[in-house]
Amino acid sequence: MTIRTAIAIALATTALPGCATAQQATPPAAHTAPAVDASYLDRKPSEEIVYFVLPDRFENGDPSNDTGDFTGDRLATGYDPTARGFFHGGDLAGLTGRLDYLEGLGVTAIWFAPIFQNKPVQGPAGDESAGYHGYWVTDFTRPDGHFGTREEFAAFVDAAHARGMKVYMDIITNHTADVITYADGAETNFEYRSLGDYPYSTRGGPDGEAINTGFMGHEDSSEENFAKLTDPNYAYIPEVPEAERDVKVPAWLNDPIYYHNRGNSSFTGEDSRFGDFAGLDDLFTEHPRVRAGMIEIFCDWITETRVDGFRIDTARHVDPGFWREFVPAMESCAGEAGIPNFHMFGEVYKDVPDNGYIAEYTRRDGLPAVLDFAFQAAMREIIGREQGTVVLAHMFDGDVLYEGGEDTALTLPTFLGNHDMGRFSTLIREDMPDISQEELLARVMLGHAMMLSTRGSPVVYYGDEQGFVGDGNDQRAREDMFPSQTGEYNDNVLIGTDATTADSNFDTDHPLYRLIAEFSAIRRAHPALTRGLQQVRHYEQEPGIFAAARFDPDDGTEYLAVFNTTAEERSANIWLNYEARGLETLAGSCPAAVSAPGSAAFTLPAFGWALCRVSEVAE
């Protein structure tokens, strides 16, 4: 039975009595991609060098779509390029037109923030913002009009594939836009109402009217059980405003029965899974209809556009049973579409250099990979907070905790900063308020050199290669690459350049762009750096030297990556295999020969590095 047949059966058998009937969306016209060299499909996830971009902030290729499908002022269209929380005009056409720039950087996979149709503006009066980031979805079946059409998206994917670049979509299954309100009144502030205080079996608390007779709770996701959940009024009384009654697509998403409706999450304990994420409508992902519907939505994106992977937003806020159905279904869809190395990685936020917490999502939930927040935290500790390089060594020791162990760790997307927590440069400046621009640049360059040399699939956050330094996290870390009209961005002092964000920032001669391009080329040329297992060779209790070996997966050739995290020249003897006699320099400065069998002496400048290939012949 094909995955499409399974989906059709699931959808047919989960039409619940008393619930809105799902409307069948008109399927998009079949897309025929031009013939390209398909060898890019053979690359494993660990071989990718990823560029993460918010399309709205990258390049405006088509000003005619700046206001999307809307007319009126900024509260109607969401467009205001002077305000950091509104649409600025970047789009799919702009992203497609800058593929030369990304190819020159060494990028092999483009991951972009969600491009689905969003509610244009949300928020209380006077504090509104727009869905430029893509996380307030109303229509899961098409791109937001601010970004372009489905045909333009297909053209972008084709253009990327023609260059051997993969495309990763950012997807959401946890929530939709904030549409559902509660009749209970604003005075409640919609605080989370727990399972114990507000069971599914009564209306408004244990002493309330009996409802949903026979429903055994969310832990039983069978169709038979959920057929008995017919009343969503157990905690709050959900309402859908008349003007937005049919705004969500597919149409089944408009029925409140498919949402938890328990109020806002505090992101701890029970409410982390069952509460609304900052007011966004939290999907009842235990419900078989929700599971089948999400599988249908995202299987269609795979088969119709041939994308190469999914970054999964807010993965830790979804029940594990959902992932245990969703992941195999997506793998099956990709297999039927002829995409052999389809990659999925979940966002499991944890700001500590300990991979135990994020690893559990690869074991219990069955996610193939997770964003490597542990790596990010360790890099901030050793480069921004001047902790000993032992922190990074201990983090890498935890790779055995992932399902699949060190092989899985190779596939984890590693990163230094992002659109939520802020840029790496910003985090370092936050940790070191008095740092000079020169030292900030040096530390950021060191971070990228380390990320591009150690295990994992490195992710470059757009603008970092142009020396962007934001004012903080979230909206303050989402500057425009094309000339910005946002004053809060344009007064930022960038590193490695005299430009500001008021300029167009696609400088291929920027020192960070050149560094990333250099290390990307080295990484792609040496399988040890993409598919080779890693062994830590040196670390210190204080800031200083860190070294790791990587091994060619085919012939076992050893490579050494050595780094200095201090502002002074440092030396260390690094152990290597006893047959080693010479070291070939790939980047930085490597000694020509070993000091003795099993040892090589390295001297590195402040914030310096050495990337070497080991040979059994003295150079």
Q: How many residues does the chain have?
A: 619
β-bridge pairing 369-370 and 343-346: parallel
Q: Which two tokens stand for residue 227?
A: 């057929």
Lookup result for tokens 């990307």: 520
Q: Which two tokens stand for residue 589?
A: 């400065």
Residue 580, classed as helix, strand or coil, is coil
Instruction: Name the DSSP letter for residue 481.
Output: S
- What distance, in Å, lies between the first and last C-alpha atoms of the chain? 59
Q: Which residues does 575 contact at the CB level (< 8 Å), separation at least 6?
A: 537, 538, 598, 599
Contact between 119 and 136 (Cβ < 8 Å):
yes
CA distance 588 to 611: 6
Question: Cα–Cα distances in Å, from 145 out to 27, 60, 67, 68, 604?
Answer: 18, 13, 8, 4, 51
CA distance 195 to 174: 18
Question: Cα–Cα distances in Å, from 405 out to 290, 411, 412?
Answer: 32, 11, 11
Q: Which of 245, 246, 279 is nearest to 123 (CA)?
A: 279
CA distance 386 to 432: 10
Q: Which two tokens stand for residue 599?
A: 């040892």
CA distance 100 to 464: 17
DSSP string, 86-102: SB----HHHHHHTHHHH
Residue 443, classed as helix, strand or coil, is helix
Q: Which of 565, 570, 601, 569 is nearest to 583 (CA)?
A: 601
Instruction: Name the DSSP letter for residue 456.
Output: S
Q: Which two tokens stand for residue 313?
A: 């937003």
Q: Which two tokens stand for residue 194?
A: 């727990």
Residue of 59, 347, 399, 558 marked active site = 347
Residue 266, classed as helix, strand or coil, is coil
Q: Which of 41, 200, 177, 188 is nearest to 118 (CA)?
A: 177
Residue 6, classed as helix, strand or coil, is helix
Cβ neighbours of 355 (radius 10 Å): 28
Residue 209 known to be catalytic: no
Residue 561, classed as helix, strand or coil, is strand
What own/partner pairs with CB < 8 Å and gap ≥ 24 does 530-536 have? 530/44, 530/46, 530/47, 531/44, 531/46, 531/47, 531/410, 532/559, 533/406, 533/407, 533/410, 533/455, 534/396, 534/406, 534/454, 534/455, 536/393, 536/396, 536/397
Lookup result for tokens 């970047």: 90
Residue of 231, 313, 381, 464 marked active site = 313
CA distance 432 to 94: 36
Residue 128 known to be catalytic: no
CA distance 432 to 565: 14
Contact between 33 and 160 (Cβ < 8 Å):
no
Please list the active-site residues.
Answer: 313, 347
